[in-house]
Structure 1
Amino acid sequence: MGMKKIISGLVLISSCLSGVYAQDNRAKTIDSVLAVYNKQGMFNGAVLVTQYGRPLFAKGYGYRDVAKKIANDTNTVFQIGSITKTYTATMVLMLQEQGKLNVKDKLAKYMPDYPDGEKITIENLLTHTSGIYNYTEDTTFANKGLFTTKSRKEMLAVFKDKLTGIEPGTTFNYSNSNYILLGYIIEDITGKPYYTALREMMLQPLGMHNTGSNFAGLKNKYKATGYFSIDDNNGIKAPLVDSSVSYAAGCIYTTVGDLMKWADAVQRAKLLRKESWIAATTEYKQHYGYGWMIGESLSKKSIGHNGGVHGFVSNMFMTPDDAHTVILLSNVMDNDLAPIRRNITAIVNNKPFELPEFRNEIKLPAALLKDYAGKYELAPNFYIDITLEGDKLFAQATGQTKLRMYAERKDFFFLKLVDAQFSFARDAAGKVEKLNLRQGGRILPGIKK
């Protein structure tokens, strides 16, 4: 796979994940960077960085349980959402190597009555080119159906007959439904529940003892509470998605240490023959292979996946050419992990990196905060509503989540959950008449209506 030679023998993870390697300045730099993200409310979770099969850095930040003030550490158990797809795809390829299926098989072979089943292949499911409707886009189901146990029949009823009009094999269209179907096929071939097949085929052989699928039923003192957001040490809890709903598309929970074992297995080509790993990690369409996202990091090929499920986000990518892996798990749904991973990758490779600017909050009197409340037009039919609730100011863009604003100085505010700032301009009489939204290197003016 083009990797440099990896040090033989996997280091005992339990003894290595308590902190950083003091002799490597990169670890200290990573820690300082993550401390900034945590201070700014942009990262709450655990991180593990490896190179050549050894931990380079591992640590937890923020809280596993905000109300009880229990800190995250490397033992914290998180849901990982769509990283689950990498496991499901691997199980499919293991069954192919056993001669029990072929990725060129038609879906109709396993589900004779599925619409367009004679056109859709297992490969189309793996690569999100089936054209099948994505069940998580059903807003009614998303609002009411995610949190209770569903049978196979009930799940199929959500998406089976909702045709998209996309011809199978022609277009990349990310759909969680593809991996729900793959999970059912795995069950039918093995004669075992998906969770049992996962444990027997992957988790036990790789020694992943802190990984499972029924997070709601997990009894573990290291289990994280998932939050939509955390603000001023107050967390808005997220409801748990039932594992029968997230299922083979996103039901797995794990720790950074167990994900290290998974990443090591991938880089050492375990569980599958070399040719199967090459097929899995080769781009099919739109930077996606068989359950793997394929991209480029510092001009080197990277493979991995990200994930999100109510209360949790995850990001795991590895670069085979220099055998390094970055694993980021968060129990706050609005944390954006991609820029953090890019910074860590730059540090591992001794390249320049960028940090969100550190900003200090000051308190402004409520009488002054009233000046900013109002509706600001940034574009036709696109507004930012700024509201005052008690002594706190909030901004909500059209169709987006309401976010709290923090004052850095008079007429200048910043967000913690997003790297964005607001500056306000006043007229000759001292009344606020417009704002400038600064985000992503752009400045968008808005007129107060």
Structure 2
Amino acid sequence: MNAKSIKLFFFLCLITNILLISNIASAQVSVVESAFETAESKGFSGVLLLAIDGKVVFEKATGYRSYEQKIPLLTTDIFEMASVSKQFTAMMVMMCQEKGLLEYSDNADKYLNIPYKGITIKQLLTHTNGLPDYQAVMDKHWDKNKVADNQAILEYLRKYHPPMLAEPGEKYEYSNTAYVFLASIVEKVTGRDFIDLSREWIFKPLGMKDTDIRTLEEKAKVSNFAAGHIKNKNGEYVNANKFHDSDYTVWLGNRKGPGRISSTAEDLLIWDQALYNGTQVSEKTLKSAFSPQSLNDCTLSYYGFGWDLGKDELLGKIVSHTGDNPGYKTLIMRFIDQNKTLILLNNNYHEANTELVESAVAALKGF
């Protein structure tokens, strides 16, 4: 075979491989399309985004931004992130650590006037702290005609002093209280407002133009804010904020740390990709955030710093987080060994959510 024939052979092989890859990708997109259409037919309202190496391979919206006004949902609409916010709070703590403002081994009561002693910042980050649920205390005692902030939450924990649920480091137990403490610690060590600092350190530098920690009044002024919806007694979807007493996002509307970030699917992809390039913290710091934690009995807890940790046989290491608010169900899944991303934002807390995620993960395995 002469040189010209060899070149032609390799060129034909290259074209064949490109066509094969293109066909595989097209087939996987079809799988997701079908799953999305099924969810749509069942009444799902939300946005699904899939990306590989930071490039969107599927993005679609269905349902309504507002059911009452019948405003169709767009992929650019802004959703409440709920507990997906915790990874941002954890990042603020990690940035403070790298700046020498705190250590993970520091006890929380070094910085905060709280009745719970011997709990480290690391145990706050990893939900291994044993703290009681602040929401239960506020639900029982707080005047829901007022809007609580972190200072009020700390005051009520001191006043009513609910007991610890476990010894620090004894076990994993999800703790919103811990992330209220973390945001308050960031404010203490920086002397700055947590919201202003989040904008300055994360949202603005990364170009997350639609991401913020908004008050109820600020959210009302955002024209493309996708309201969370739940069904009324007639089975009709209505704005979740109308159920005032049960909607803690209203009367706990000024809390910082465990929730309250609102964002878009595409802004979350910007955030996802920034975690690969070291613009926020060092690779060493991020590695610790994605590592399981050793408990007092030397068993491991698979929650890092604001991230659930998992592994898939084909996709490799997974770091993910869900978020639940009245009317909302959110998810970011990062398959960090392969730089694949799944983002799902749902604003009518629909049961089709789970099946759609399963289909999307299956499709990502085929890309």
Same fold by TM (over 0.5)?
yes
Residue 26 of structure 1 is matched in structure 2 by 28
Provide, for residues 90-138 of structure 1, a one-character-per-residue CA deviation record: whole Å limited to 9, x for no partner. 1100110011111111112102x42232x11000100111111122344
Residue 316 of structure 1 is matched in structure 2 by 332
User: 1:223-238 alignment to 2 at 5 Å?
Assistant: 223-229=225-231, 234-238=236-240
Q: CA contact under 8 A between 2:124 and 2:179: conserved in structure 1?
A: yes
The TM-score normalised by the length of structure 1 is: 0.68
Q: CA contact under 8 A between 1:134 and 1:176: conserved in structure 2?
A: yes
User: 1:61-72 alignment to 2 at 5 Å?
Assistant: 61-72=62-73
Bigger shift: 240-249 or 314-323?
240-249
Provide, for residues 310-364 of structure 1, a one-character-per-residue CA deviation record: whole Å limited to 9, x for no partner. 221101011012211000001113446344222101112229xxxxxxxxxxxxx
Per residue, is there more strand in 1 or in 2?
1
**CA 1:27/1:108 → structure 2, altered by over 3 Å: closer, same or farther?**
same
**CA 1:228/1:97 → structure 2, altered by over 3 Å: closer, same or farther?**
same
**CA 1:135/1:205 → structure 2, altered by over 3 Å: closer, same or farther?**
same
Residue 271 of structure 2 is matched in structure 1 by 262
Provide, for residues 246-266 of structure 1, a one-character-per-residue CA deviation record: whole Å limited to 9, x for no partner. 521011000001001111112
The TM-score normalised by the length of structure 2 is: 0.82
Q: Which has the larger radius of gyration?
A: 1
Structure 1 vs Structure 2 CA RMSD: 2.5
**CA 1:168/1:146 → structure 2, altered by over 3 Å: closer, same or farther?**
farther
C-alpha distance in structure 2 between counterparts of 1:232 and 1:49, whole Å: 35
Percentage of identical aligned residues? 27
User: 1:50-449 alignment to 2 at 5 Å?
Assistant: 50-111=51-112, 113-117=113-117, 119-138=118-137, 140-141=139-140, 148-160=146-158, 161-216=161-216, 217-218=218-219, 219-229=221-231, 234-239=236-241, 241-242=249-250, 244-284=253-293, 285-299=300-314, 300-335=316-351, 337-350=353-366
C-alpha distance in structure 2 between counterparts of 1:70 and 1:99, whole Å: 48
* Deviation at residue 22 of structure 1 after TM alignment: 12
**CA 1:245/1:130 → structure 2, altered by over 3 Å: closer, same or farther?**
farther
* Deviation at residue 150 of structure 1 after TM alignment: 1.5
C-alpha distance in structure 2 between counterparts of 1:209 and 1:22, whole Å: 34
C-alpha distance in structure 1 between counterparts of 2:145 and 2:99, whole Å: 35
Aligned length: 327
Q: CA contact under 8 A between 1:93 and 1:276: conserved in structure 2?
A: yes
C-alpha distance in structure 1 between counterparts of 2:329 and 2:148, whole Å: 23
Residue 396 of structure 1 is matched in structure 2 by none
Read off the aligned partner of 1:224 and give its amino acid letter.
Answer: A
Read off the aligned partner of 1:178 and give its amino acid letter.
Answer: A
- Indicate the SS of the match to 2:32: helix
C-alpha distance in structure 2 between counterparts of 1:139 and 1:87, whole Å: 24
Per residue, is there more helix in 1 or in 2?
2
Q: CA contact under 8 A between 2:129 and 2:169: conserved in structure 1?
A: yes
Read off the aligned partner of 2:157 and give its amino acid letter.
Answer: F
* Deviation at residue 237 of structure 1 after TM alignment: 2.1
* Deviation at residue 232 of structure 1 after TM alignment: 9.8
Structure 2 unaligned residues grouped into runs of 5+ = 1-22, 242-246, 294-299
Structure 1 unaligned residues grouped into runs of 5+ = 1-20, 352-449
Provide, for residues 26-63 of structure 1, a one-character-per-residue CA deviation record: whole Å limited to 9, x for no partner. 2232122111012112x211111100110011110111
Q: CA contact under 8 A between 1:133 and 1:159: conserved in structure 2?
A: no
Provide, for residues 381-425 of structure 1, a one-character-per-residue CA deviation record: whole Å limited to 9, x for no partner. xxxxxxxxxxxxxxxxxxxxxxxxxxxxxxxxxxxxxxxxxxxxx
Provide, for residues 233-287 of structure 1, a one-character-per-residue CA deviation record: whole Å limited to 9, x for no partner. 9313211614645521011000001001111112333301000000001111432
Read off the aligned partner of 2:101 and give its amino acid letter.
Answer: K
* Deviation at residue 165 of structure 1 after TM alignment: 4.6
Residue 439 of structure 1 is matched in structure 2 by none
**CA 1:244/1:231 → structure 2, altered by over 3 Å: closer, same or farther?**
closer
The ranges of structure 1 where at least 4 consecutive aligned residues each deviate by more than 6 angstroms after the TM superposition are 230-233
Read off the aligned partner of 2:75 and give its amino acid letter.
Answer: T
Q: CA contact under 8 A between 1:134 and 1:174: conserved in structure 2?
A: no
Read off the aligned partner of 1:295 and give its amino acid letter.
Answer: G
Read off the aligned partner of 2:34 and give its amino acid letter.
Answer: S
